[in-house]
A and B are shown apart, each in its own frame.
Chain A
Amino acid sequence: MASETGPELNPDTTGGRLRRYLNVERYLDETTSPRRALLVYGLLFLYFAWFLVPVIWLALSTVKSGAIIQADRLIIIPSAEHFTLGHYEQVLTNPQFIRLFVNSTVIALSTVVLTLSVGILGAYSLSRFSYPGRSAILVSFMATKMLPPALIIIPFFLMMYSYTLVDTYLGIILAHSIRALPLALWLLKGFFDDIPQALDESARIDGCSHFRTLVHIIIPLALPGIAVAAFYTFVTSWNDFLFVSVLSQSGTTRTLPFGLFLFQSQNSINWGATITAATITAVPSIVLFALVQNEIVEGLASGGMHGE
């Protein structure tokens, strides 16, 4: 099959044997010549040097001892004597860092629970019912994404101030939930729309209540989509700097991004601890992304992106 479409193949040369061994012909067809493949890899190398070198450099630097972390010569991989896990030990045993991590986790998980609870009910309604004003509601939700967060934070702070919710978990959770809700709702509705209506209609005819239809049919079928919405909501909360910087006035509610910012501005010399704390902060986002990446890429192609 391959030899019919592939370019001329001389089995006697080394190149020919190598290509046969790697089964290169499987990939080469009339649109992808070997020269083009080389060009593609060359350009991709440039892209990924830009994307990944900074991240790899950060991660490698976290295991360099204090003696070489700020060395004025290029040391890519530290030798055994300069290798250390001391920065991790220092950060992970620091009570302030632990507090930040716990705050971030509690706030992000609570935001996911609140956003998904109202989001799933709302998306079920927008996907399965028809009533006057339905599409207006949907468009209004997305329109709120347009509002400048820097503007919203001013009256939002005043509102939280008058309800004495400044410097509380609840105030921050509410702020993060409204930031995440529009897109979460939109994503969920898209995923619910992909489930055939016939399934839940037949359940309804068999006497299932709306609640049971939602819990036993829609939610199990939409689980991958719900995972994407949960990931998106978690990351919105986990990554937020703006709302926490205004609503959190003490260490009791401060989360990692704002904590890192304060730490960095106070300890501009102690890079070892700063970059290690930064690395640890990035890990949950990256790991959760790895778990749902296929659904996210599909969601960009279908559910999340086609409009009404």
Chain B
Amino acid sequence: MTYENTAVMSSAQAAWQEKARRILDEADWYTRETWVGYGLVIPATALMLVIIVYPTLQAIWISFHQRSFLHPEQSTWVGLANYGQLLEDPVFATAFIHTVIFTVGAVGAMYLLGLGLALLLRHNLPGLGLLRSLSMVPWVIPPVVIVIIWTWMFQVDYGLVNLILVQFGGPNKYWFGDINLALPLVMMLRVWKDTPFVAIALLASMQSIPDEYYEAARIDGAGNLEQFRYITLPNISYISMVMIVIEVIAAFNSFQMIYIATGGGPVNATEVLGTYVYEQAFGQYVLGYASAVGVVMLVLLTVFTAIYIKLENTS
């Protein structure tokens, strides 16, 4: 072998070796990447597993037991007794019906009002930018403050609502204490808080629709209603679905504002499943029964979400 040949051989060899090393590196790179990927998501996942998934399973377990909040370490297996008791509990039935009315009514109202607000705020007129920001104020106010604002407004004699009603010869009373009006009022609080959120999400979705669609429709002679029906509505349908699902889950789980405003009263007029679970667990101290009510909520929400996912996958 000549000196030159060796040089050629070794450079070919070097090139080959280089290539081999790169392939090995890459293989190593992929496996290492995978592990780094898992490693980074572990803290968040562990937190959720330990603090959400495990307690949820434990709640299902507790629902088959008799267990008191006063002696949490004592627990007796009672099988399906708690669930049997549910079927005969008139307050549970009332709370269940109220929850359905509350969810359908509040979400329906906030969607329609939110859609209307989005359509108004979408106009290109002076001052609307400021209104877009101001509209979110109800959404960021803490729920307890929302309740204080509205119960203050509805006070007898000096509440703003009664002051105005009395001017027009209307009644003067504490409206949250009215057995027929309490449920619509707590629904109104929810609608007041979340309408802006729905509106701004719908508005953002509307603003991403290209102007050309509307121009083309106008050239074809489509009126406002037809433009809304055939352009706006189909293009906001995805966000509409997402918002409705989010809001249904939130409304179904409602607890905070109702509990603070009325505590479920007067005479169970605003009792919903959320307040009933809380009252049973931390008012009556029956953790097993409270868990059974909560598990019913969980099952219904799971069914609802499963239907939604199925619908989304098929469409």
Residues on A lying within 8 angstroms of B by beta carbon are 27, 29-32, 36-37, 40-41, 43-44, 47-48, 50-55, 57-58, 61, 69-74, 117-119, 121-122, 124-126, 128-131, 134, 137, 140-141, 143-156, 158-159, 161, 174-175, 177-178, 181-182, 185, 210, 235, 238-239, 241-242, 245-246, 256-258, 260-261, 264, 271, 274-275, 278-279, 281-282, 285-286, 289-290, 293, 296-298, 300-301, 305
In the complex, the answer to whether A155 meets B47 with C-beta atoms within 8 Å is: no
Q: How far is the CA of A282 from the CA of B36 in the complex (A)?
A: 42
In the complex, the answer to whether A122 meets B192 with C-beta atoms within 8 Å is: no
* Given A174-B51, A261-B260, A305-B239, A148 and B253 contact (CB-CB distance below 8 Å): yes
With both beta carbons as reference points, the residue of chain B lying nearest to A264 in the complex is identified as B148
Q: Is B48 an interface residue (CB 8 A)?
A: yes
Q: Is B169 an interface residue (CB 8 A)?
A: no
Q: Is B92 an interface residue (CB 8 A)?
A: no
In the complex, the answer to whether A155 meets B62 with C-beta atoms within 8 Å is: yes
13 examples of A-B residue contacts, CB within 8 angstroms: A51-B134, A74-B160, A122-B44, A141-B48, A147-B56, A149-B253, A150-B275, A151-B277, A257-B143, A257-B144, A286-B140, A293-B136, A297-B132
- 8 Å CB contacts to A: which residues of B137-151? 137-138, 140-145, 148-150
Query: Which A residues are in CB contact (< 8 Å) with B167?
Result: 74
Query: Which A residues are in CB contact (< 8 Å) with B54?
Result: 155, 159
Query: Which B residues are in CB contact (< 8 Å) with A128?
Result: 37
In the complex, the answer to whether B256 meets A242 with C-beta atoms within 8 Å is: yes
How near does chain B come to A142, taking the closest CB pair, in angstroms? 10
Query: Which B residues are in CB contact (< 8 Å) with A143?
Result: 305
Central interface residue in B62, B116, B142, by most chain A CB within 10 Å: B142
Query: Which A residues are in CB contact (< 8 Å) with B123?
Result: 32, 36-37, 40
Q: For the side of the interface on B, what is the size category?
A: 35 or more
In the complex, the answer to whether A70 meets B158 with C-beta atoms within 8 Å is: yes
* Given A122-B44, A148-B301, A210-B36, A51 and B160 contact (CB-CB distance below 8 Å): no
In the complex, the answer to whether A44 meets B120 with C-beta atoms within 8 Å is: yes
Q: Is B281 an interface residue (CB 8 A)?
A: yes
Q: Is B133 an interface residue (CB 8 A)?
A: yes
Q: How far is the CA of A177 from the CA of B44 in the complex (A)?
A: 10
In the complex, the answer to whether B140 meets A285 with C-beta atoms within 8 Å is: yes
In the complex, the answer to whether A146 meets B305 with C-beta atoms within 8 Å is: yes
How near does chain B come to A66, taking the closest CB pair, in angstroms? 12
* Given A54-B150, A55-B149, A297 and B157 contact (CB-CB distance below 8 Å): no
- The digit string for B286-315, where 1 denotes a CB below 8 A from any CB of A, is 010011001101100110010000000000
Q: Is B208 an interface residue (CB 8 A)?
A: yes
* Given A40-B125, A261-B260, A122 and B45 contact (CB-CB distance below 8 Å): yes
* Given A149-B253, A151-B297, A285-B140, A54 and B149 contact (CB-CB distance below 8 Å): yes
Q: How far is the CA of A147 from the CA of B281 in the complex (A)?
A: 17
In the complex, the answer to whether A27 meets B126 with C-beta atoms within 8 Å is: yes
With both beta carbons as reference points, the residue of chain A lying nearest to B305 in the complex is identified as A146
Q: How far is the CA of A245 from the CA of B281 in the complex (A)?
A: 12
Query: Which B residues are in CB contact (< 8 Å) with A246?
Result: 282
Q: How far is the CA of A58 from the CA of B133 in the complex (A)?
A: 20
Q: Is B93 an interface residue (CB 8 A)?
A: no
With both beta carbons as reference points, the residue of chain A lying nearest to B132 in the complex is identified as A297
Task: Determine which of B132, B158, B249, B260 lies in contact with A145 in the assembled complex, contact meaning CB atoms within 8 Å.
Answer: B249
In the complex, the answer to whether B163 meets A178 with C-beta atoms within 8 Å is: no
With both beta carbons as reference points, the residue of chain B lying nearest to A259 in the complex is identified as B144
Q: Is B96 an interface residue (CB 8 A)?
A: no
How near does chain A come to B312, taking the closest CB pair, in angstroms? 9
Query: Which B residues are in CB contact (< 8 Å) with A69?
Result: 158
Task: Determine which of A61, A125, A242, A281 lies in contact with B145 in the assembled complex, contact meaning CB atoms within 8 Å.
Answer: A281
How near does chain B come to A49, taking the closest CB pair, in angstroms? 12
* Given A57-B160, A122-B45, A260-B145, A148 and B294 contact (CB-CB distance below 8 Å): yes
With both beta carbons as reference points, the residue of chain B lying nearest to A183 in the complex is identified as B246
- The digit string for B39-69, where 1 denotes a CB below 8 A from any CB of A, is 1110111011001111110110010000000
In the complex, the answer to whether A43 meets B282 with C-beta atoms within 8 Å is: no
* Given A238-B142, A260-B144, A260-B148, A144 and B48 contact (CB-CB distance below 8 Å): yes
In the complex, the answer to whether A178 meets B48 with C-beta atoms within 8 Å is: yes
Query: Which B residues are in CB contact (< 8 Å) with A126?
Result: 41
In the complex, the answer to whether B143 meets A305 with C-beta atoms within 8 Å is: no
Q: How far is the CA of A262 from the CA of B140 in the complex (A)?
A: 22
Task: Determine which of A40, A53, A235, A257 lies in contact with B140 in the assembled complex, contact meaning CB atoms within 8 Å.
Answer: A235
Task: Determine which of A27, A154, A296, A297 lies in contact with B124 in the assembled complex, contact meaning CB atoms within 8 Å.
Answer: A27
Central interface residue in B40, B62, B149, by most chain A CB within 10 Å: B40
In the complex, the answer to whether A148 meets B40 with C-beta atoms within 8 Å is: no
Q: Is B152 an interface residue (CB 8 A)?
A: yes
In the complex, the answer to whether A48 meets B131 with C-beta atoms within 8 Å is: yes
Q: Is B183 an interface residue (CB 8 A)?
A: no
Q: Is B278 an interface residue (CB 8 A)?
A: yes
In the complex, the answer to whether B137 meets A286 with C-beta atoms within 8 Å is: yes
Query: Which B residues are in CB contact (< 8 Å) with A131?
Result: 34, 37-38
How near does chain A come to B106, taking the closest CB pair, in angstroms? 15
Counting from the closest, the 7 A-B pairs by CB-CB distance are A129-B37, A151-B294, A301-B204, A122-B44, A125-B40, A155-B55, A155-B58
Task: Determine which of A118, A290, A300 lies in contact with B47 in the assembled complex, contact meaning CB atoms within 8 Å.
Answer: A118
With both beta carbons as reference points, the residue of chain B lying nearest to A293 in the complex is identified as B133
In the complex, the answer to whether A154 meets B125 with C-beta atoms within 8 Å is: no
Task: Determine which of A53, A71, A124, A150 lies in contact with B253 in the assembled complex, contact meaning CB atoms within 8 Å.
Answer: A150
Query: Which A residues are in CB contact (< 8 Å) with B120?
Result: 40, 43-44, 47
